[in-house]
């Protein structure tokens, strides 16, 4: 075979073999000395492993520079060899970044250690050494591609919490009152939606969240953790990780809505779920900062993760109903208008993997001239914050009626069955 023909064959194979080790091997046999070049060009690189470890919930995020195939394997505790339960995730076709060759020791929470190694020439294996495993979920997110692993278990370790690269102030957690996690959407390089006169969603929702935080602490006496307290960018999966590992009992993500049709206005609240509603899908794409096609992929993932379990969805829906109702009635009373767009479900990444009742609230349409003007008014923001607190209080009271000494989420789940 002439050398130019070999090159042409290689070129064709190069196009179709980007993620196929078998074809890649054929390619190597044909290419001979060019093997190294082809491999380095086509292999995904495992760039970073991020983790959050709490007493009963651990989230690991594996960051890659392109898509890979992955599979997991759960290995039980091996008492004879003194090995803890391990969850292994194999990523193919991938190479490990040289910075990740040392194990990451973690002396707190459910996770004991994370290790990553080049298991085969084509496969990177990430191993989580765990205290215990009751359940786990794995799902991919795109743009950039990453694999998220949530592990639930029961820790025998001290109740010390550890987080990685989180811009949160450390807070004393003993003794621990009922805890709310507030998530002001967007931040930093991500402004969220921008109103007709330039008001940014990221600024409005931070103002509202700060007001809610202060009111909840003062009026309800709850502990409040915010996923951000200033203008900074935080990835969506990191926000849920805060809620889970800080052992939040409720999670509320606050946003302002937007639509190309500037006449649209109103208030709507969401719980996690799949939907065929076009407006909800459009909104999910925008809030997730992904394409409509990627939202379709996300819906498949949510179905795989079985997130429609009523035990988990019903408390979230009850929380959403309480907050939505309080917002509509309070803003209507104080400002004479508040369009109720209802409680819906949609695939929001920020709600995926949250074990506690979790909602996303769109407080008004920043794209609407009238509502943007109102969102500039501190009295309107105060009214929104008051209403959210009222809704939280109502939810807590309803849950208290049936819960006894149990947690809010567990009790409302039980009461609904
Ligand atoms: Zn938003």
Distance 258 CA to ligand 1 centre (A): 8
Distance 182 CA to ligand 1 centre (A): 14
Q: The dihedral of CA 31, 35, 40, 44: what is its sign?
A: positive
Distance 388 CA to ligand 1 centre (A): 17
What is the Cβ-side half-sphere exposure of residue 226, based on CA atoms within 13 angstroms? 23
Distance 252 CA to ligand 1 centre (A): 13
Distance 216 CA to ligand 1 centre (A): 22
Distance 124 CA to ligand 1 centre (A): 35
Q: Pairing mode, if any, of strands 57-64 and 69-75?
A: unpaired
Gyration radius of the chain's alpha carbons: 24
Residue 125 β-bridge partners: 90, 117
* Among candidate residues 303, 258, 254, the one with its CA nearest the CA of residue 276: 303
* Among candidate residues 51, 83, 277, the one with its CA nearest the CA of residue 148: 51
Distance 397 CA to ligand 1 centre (A): 29
Residues with CB under 5 A from ligand 1 (ion): 185, 192, 255, 287
Under a CB-based contact definition with an 8 Å cutoff, are residues 91 and 62 in contact?
A: yes
Low-confidence ranges of the chain (pLDDT < 50): 1-40, 157-173, 404-417
Under a CB-based contact definition with an 8 Å cutoff, are residues 365 and 259 in contact?
A: yes
Task: List the helix and strand counts (H, then E) for the chain.
Answer: 11, 17
Distance 362 CA to ligand 1 centre (A): 8
Cα distance between residue 67 and residue 34, in whole Å: 23
Close Cβ partners of 207 (under 8 Å, ≥ 6 residues apart) = 381
Distance 127 CA to ligand 1 centre (A): 35
Under a CB-based contact definition with an 8 Å cutoff, are residues 359 and 271 in contact?
A: yes
Distance 44 CA to ligand 1 centre (A): 31
Distance 96 CA to ligand 1 centre (A): 34
Distance 202 CA to ligand 1 centre (A): 8
Cα distance between residue 388 and residue 58, in whole Å: 29
pLDDT at 345: 94
Helix (H) or strand (E) holding 128: strand 123-130
pLDDT at 12: 33
Under a CB-based contact definition with an 8 Å cutoff, are residues 180 and 225 in contact?
A: yes
Distance 191 CA to ligand 1 centre (A): 9
| Cβ atoms within 10 Å, residue 237 | 20
DSSP secondary structure of 255-272: EEE--SSTT---EEEEEE
Distance 256 CA to ligand 1 centre (A): 6
Distance 173 CA to ligand 1 centre (A): 30
Spell out where 8-121 has E strands.
44-53, 57-64, 69-75, 86-92, 94-96, 104-105, 111-120
Close Cβ partners of 19 (under 8 Å, ≥ 6 residues apart) = 42, 67, 68, 69, 92, 93
Distance 375 CA to ligand 1 centre (A): 14
Under a CB-based contact definition with an 8 Å cutoff, are residues 312 and 410 in contact?
A: no
Structure tokens belonging to residue 70:
């992955």
pLDDT at 15: 34
Distance 307 CA to ligand 1 centre (A): 22
User: What is the phi/psi pair of residue 232, to 5°?
Assistant: -140, 155
Close Cβ partners of 374 (under 8 Å, ≥ 6 residues apart) = 335, 364, 380
Distance 174 CA to ligand 1 centre (A): 33
- pTM of this prediction? 0.80
Distance 377 CA to ligand 1 centre (A): 19
Distance 379 CA to ligand 1 centre (A): 21
Close Cβ partners of 129 (under 8 Å, ≥ 6 residues apart) = 83, 84, 85, 86, 111, 112, 113, 114, 115
pLDDT at 100: 83
Distance 71 CA to ligand 1 centre (A): 32
Let me know how long the chain is.
417
Distance 360 CA to ligand 1 centre (A): 9
Distance 201 CA to ligand 1 centre (A): 7
pLDDT at 41: 52
Distance 186 CA to ligand 1 centre (A): 6
pLDDT at 230: 98
Cα distance between residue 152 and residue 244, in whole Å: 10
Distance 49 CA to ligand 1 centre (A): 26
Distance 357 CA to ligand 1 centre (A): 19
Under a CB-based contact definition with an 8 Å cutoff, are residues 327 and 232 in contact?
A: no
């Amino acid at each position: 075979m002439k050398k130019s023909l070999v090159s042409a064959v290689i070129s064709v194979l190069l196009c179709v073999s980007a993620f196929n080790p078998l074809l890649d091997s054929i390619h190597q046999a044909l290419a001979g000395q060019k093997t190294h070049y082809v491999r380095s060009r086509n292999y995904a690189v495992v760039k970073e492993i991020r983790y959050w470890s709490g007493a009963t919930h651990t989230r690991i995020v594996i960051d890659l520079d392109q898509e890979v195939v992955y599979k997991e394997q759960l290995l039980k505790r091996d008492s004879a060899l003194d090995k803890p339960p391990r969850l292994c995730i194999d990523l193919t076709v991938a190479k490990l970044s040289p910075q990740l060759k040392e194990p990451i020791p973690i002396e707190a929470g459910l996770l004991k250690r994370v290790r990553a190694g080049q298991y085969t020439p084509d496969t990177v294996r990430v191993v989580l050494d765990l205290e215990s495993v009751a359940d786990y979920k794995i799902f991919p997110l795109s743009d950039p591609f990453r694999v998220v692993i949530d592990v639930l278990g029961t820790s025998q370790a001290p109740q010390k919490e550890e987080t990685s690269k989180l811009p949160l102030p450390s807070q004393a957690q003993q003794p621990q009152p009922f805890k709310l996690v507030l998530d002001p959407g967007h931040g930093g390089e991500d402004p969220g939606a921008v109103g007709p006169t330039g008001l940014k969603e990221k600024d409005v929702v931070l103002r509202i969240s700060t007001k809610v935080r202060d009111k909840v602490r003062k009026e309800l006496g709850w502990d409040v953790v915010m996923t951000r307290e200033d203008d900074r960018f935080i990835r969506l999966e990191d926000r849920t990780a805060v809620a889970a590992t800080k052992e939040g009992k409720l999670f509320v993500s606050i946003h302002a809505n937007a639509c190309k049709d500037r006449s649209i206005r109103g208030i709507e609240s969401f719980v996690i779920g799949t939907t065929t509603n076009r407006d909800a899908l459009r909104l999910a794409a925008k809030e997730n900062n992904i394409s409509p096609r990627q939202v379709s992929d996300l819906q498949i993932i949510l179905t795989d993760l079985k997130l429609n379990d009523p035990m988990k969805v019903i408390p979230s829906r009850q929380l959403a109903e309480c907050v939505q109702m309080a917002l509509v009635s309070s803003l209507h009373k104080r400002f004479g208008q508040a369009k109720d767009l209802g409680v819906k479900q949609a695939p929001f990444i920020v709600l995926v993997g949250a074990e506690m009742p979790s909602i996303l609230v769109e407080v008004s349409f920043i794209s609407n001239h009238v509502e943007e003007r109102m969102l500039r008014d501190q009295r309107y923001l105060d009214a929104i914050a008051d209403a959210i607190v009222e809704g939280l209080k109502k939810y807590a009271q309803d849950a208290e009626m049936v819960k006894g000494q149990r947690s809010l989420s567990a009790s409302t789940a039980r009461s609904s069955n």
